[in-house]
Amino acid sequence: MTRVELITVGDELLSGLVLNSNVARVADALGGIGLGLSVVCDVSDDIPEIVAALRTSCARADVVLCSGGLGPTSDDLTRDALATLAGVEMDRDAGLEEIIRARYAEWNVTVPDLALRQADVPRGAVPVPNSRGSAPGLRLSLGQTTIYALPGVPRELEAMLAEHIVPELAAGLDGPRPVTATVRVALSGESSIATALDAVDLSAVRVAYLALPGDVAVRLTGPAGAVAAAADAVAQRLGAAAYSRDGAGLPAVVHGLLRERKASLAVAESLTGGMVAAALTDPAGASVSFRGGAIVYATEAKAELGVDPELLAERGPVDADVALGMARCVRERLGATHGVATTGVAGPDPVGDYEVGTVFVAVDSAEGSRVIRRSLPPRRELVRTLTVVHALDLLRRHLLGLEPYELTG
C-alpha cells in the first residue's frame, strides 16, 4: 500500500483567511488511481516549520506532496525548505528562466527579478512543468520517499496533478489501473443519498462523496467493469436527481439538452443577480444556445423588462406570477425558445411577508411554463447559490419532460 501525505504551505490557511480546498483537489486526483491521503498538514510560510513537517512525513510516507510556497515573493519558501531538508545548494535553471521570461512576455510585462526566483532548483531536484502558471513544480527523492512540490494556486495544482504527478504515481502502481465514474446529483443531501445507496451493492468499488451546496458528486473507483455496473445501479437508484454520469456539471448538461433540441435560452435574475447567467456562460461554446438576460435587481427594473406594473404594485417583487412574467418577458425580448427567472429574498432582511430564503424560480417556453417556490436556509450566500442550482435543475427537468424536484424528507 502506497502511503501518501500532503503538506499545504501558507499562513492564509492557518489564519482561516482561505479554506484549504486543495485537500479535496488532491484527494480527488489521487482517488482516480485508487490512492488516498493518510495525513494532511498545514504549515506557515516559515522554513523551519516546512522542514519539520517534511521530515515528519518523509519518515513514514512513500510519497509526500507539498503544495504552496513556490511563488516569487519573500514568503514563498518551499524551494528553500527542500534545499535545507536535503542539505543541498540551490541552482538557477536556465531553461526554467527562459520559460518564465516567455510567460511574462505573453502578459506584456517586464519580468521582475523576484519572479526569476521561480527558476531556482535545489540540486538533485527535477522541475515539473506548470502548464497554467509561471512557478514550476519540483520532484525530489529522499531515501525511500518521493517529494513533489506543487503550486498552491488551485488551477495550476489541478493541471500539474493531472498532467504529471498522477501519471507518474500510476506508473509505479501494480495491477490493473482503476477507473473512475462520477455520478452528479442535484438538490439531494449527502446523507439522504448515502441512505438511498445503502440498498445498492457497492462492495466492488470505492465510494467517495464530494458535496457542494445543492450538488453532490458520488465518485466510484475500481475495476472498469465494476465501476460501470455500480454507476448504472447508482443512477437508477437515484432516478431523476442524478443528472450526469461523467462528472459534467449542470450548466454543461443544460447546454447539451438545449443544443439537442436546437433551443435557445434567456434568463431574468433578481436575487441571483447574474449568477445563473455566469454559470451558463462558463462552458466554452455557450453562445450556441445562450442568448443573454436581464438582471432586474430593483423592482423598477422588473417593470422595465415588461412585468405587469399592477402585479408588481399589488404583490411586490417576490411572487410566483412575477417570476413567471420575468421568464416570459425575457424570452420574448431576446427571441429565445426558453426563459428562466429567479426572484426571492436573499437577505439579510425579509421582504414584505416573505422570510429570508423564500425563492421563486420559473421556466417558460412554447410548450408551457412552470414555477416552483422553495424555502432555503436563511444565509445570503447559500440562498443565492442554491437558487442557481434550482433554476438550472428546473430547466433541465422541463427540457426532459420531468416533474420539478420536490423536497422529500
Alpha carbons 115 and 92: distance in angstroms, whole number: 12
From the list 1, 74, 176, 199, which residue makes contact with a second copy (rule: CB under 8 A)?
Answer: 74
**Host H or E run for residue 147:** strand 145-150
- Cα angle 259-263-265, degrees, rounded to a multiple of 5: 105
Decide: is 162 part of the binding site for a second copy (CB under 8 A).
no
Pick between residue 18 and residue 173 the one whose CB is nearest to a second copy: 18
Q: Which stretch binds a second copy (CB under 8 A): 71-79, 139-147, 321-329, 393-401?
A: 71-79
Q: Based on the shown chain and the rule CB under 8 A, indicate whether residue 61 belongs to the binding site for a second copy.
A: no
Nearer of residues 124 and 404 to a second copy, judged by Cβ? 404
List the one residue from 114, 126, 173, 400 that touches a second copy (CB under 8 A). 114
Question: Does the protein bind a second copy through residue 25 (CB under 8 A)?
Answer: yes
DSSP lists the bridge partners of residue 127 as 138
344 binds a second copy (CB under 8 A): no
Q: Is 109 in the site for a second copy (CB under 8 A)?
A: yes
Q: Cα–Cα distance between 95 and 101 in angstroms, integer?
A: 10
Beta strands in 252-397 (DSSP E): 265-269, 290-295, 338-344, 358-365, 368-375
Quick one: which H or E segment has residue 220?
Answer: strand 215-222
| 2 sits near a second copy (criterion: CB under 8 A) | no
Cβ–Cβ < 8 Å for 238, 194: no
Q: Does 333 participate in binding a second copy (rule CB under 8 A)?
A: yes
Distances in Å between the alpha carbon of 242 and those of 185, 209, 376, 385, 407? 4, 14, 21, 19, 15
Question: How many residues make contact with a second copy (CB under 8 A)?
Answer: 106
Gap between the Cα atoms of 272 and 340, Å rounded: 12
Query: Could you say which residues in the range 373-402 bind a second copy, by CB under 8 A?
Result: 375, 377, 379-381, 384
Residue 211 touches a second copy, criterion: CB under 8 A:
yes
Shortest distance (Å) from residue 45 CB to a second copy:
7
Rounded to an integer, what distance in angstroms lies between the CA atom of residue 337 and that of residue 300?
Answer: 25
Using CB under 8 A as the binding rule, whether residue 72 contacts a second copy is answered as: yes
For residue 222, the cross-strand partners are 179
Tell which one of 94, 199, 366, 407 touches a second copy (CB under 8 A): 407
With CB under 8 A as the contact rule, the residue among 91, 99, 132, 200 that binds a second copy is 132
The answer to the question of residue 42 lying near a second copy (CB under 8 A) is yes
Residues 290-329 that bind a second copy (CB under 8 A): 290-298, 300-301, 304
Does residue 39 interact with a second copy by CB under 8 A? Answer: yes
Among 28-36, 160-168, 364-372, 398-406, which window interacts with a second copy (CB under 8 A)? 28-36
CA separation for the pair 387, 393 (Å, rounded): 10
The closest alpha carbon to 68, from 25, 13, 113, belongs to: 13
Backbone phi, psi, residue 288, to 5°: -60, -45
| Min separation Cβ 193 and a second copy, Å | 8
Q: CB of 154: closest distance to a second copy in angstroms?
A: 11
